[in-house]
Amino acid sequence: MSLNREQWAIEWQRLRDVDWRDLDIKEAGGWPLLLKVLSCCLALLATLSVMLWFVVSEQRESFKEAQREEVGLLSEYRSKASEAAFLPEMREQLATLEGQIARLRTMLPTDAEIPSLLDSISDAAIDNRLTIETIRLRPTLTQAHYVEQPLDIQVRGDYHQLARFSADIASLPRMVTQHDFTLEPVEERGDTLRLSLLARTYRYLEPGDQPPTDGVEPL
């Protein structure tokens, strides 16, 4: 629809004469043409604004989600980068620990070496001119990763002989710890003393090993 110059002037005058306070949407069909066009433009603009708001809101939420994901990925990257930075040091510490465990295991007697260990303790007593009263195995005690083998030891001699005997036990190639020392005179008048102690040696428990059978072998 096209309007000539005179019609435009008429419609413009009608628009100027409109009392905006008396406008009723129910009477929109009788509104001046320019008012109808203006109303349509405003309605279209409002519709486009609402559509744009929904689109922008959705994009804004997607952007926020992407930001949250970026923060999570950066945090994960920093964590992994920190772990990677400490990895060589951790490997070195692990290798050192494994070496210490391996050296410790070489100090622990096997089940077959227990009789030989008893012989070594007996030889230490003989070398120090002690009288052996008891060297006897107690029942074994199974722990989480090792088997504990207690031994009762009772010998007689003078103070210096007993001290050297204790030092010789401590210097054995296999680990033997000494506990519950008791030192008492054998005679009321004399230098001979009786040393009673509980010694313990240990055996590493390999995965799949069966609990050891208790045994008592007095010497």
Please give the residue range of the domain that contains residue 127: 114-204
pLDDT tens by residue, the chain, 219 residues: 555 666 666 666 666 666 556 666 666 666 666 666 777 777 778 887 777 777 667 777 777 787 788 888 888 888 887 777 777 877 888 888 877 777 777 778 888 888 999 999 999 999 999 999 999 999 999 888 788 999 999 999 999 999 999 999 999 988 899 999 999 998 877 789 999 999 999 887 766 655 555 444 444
What are the Cα distances from residue 218, in Å, to 119, 145, 152?
12, 27, 9
Any domain includes 216: no
Any domain includes 6: no
Give pTM, 2 decimals: 0.53
Any domain includes 131: yes
Any domain includes 133: yes
153 three-state secondary structure: strand
Last residue of a domain, one of 85, 108, 131: 108
Count: domains in the chain: 2
Question: Is 119 found in the same domain as 101?
Answer: no
Contact indicator for 181, 163 with CB cutoff of 8 Å: no
Any domain includes 182: yes
Question: Is 76 found in the same domain as 132?
Answer: no
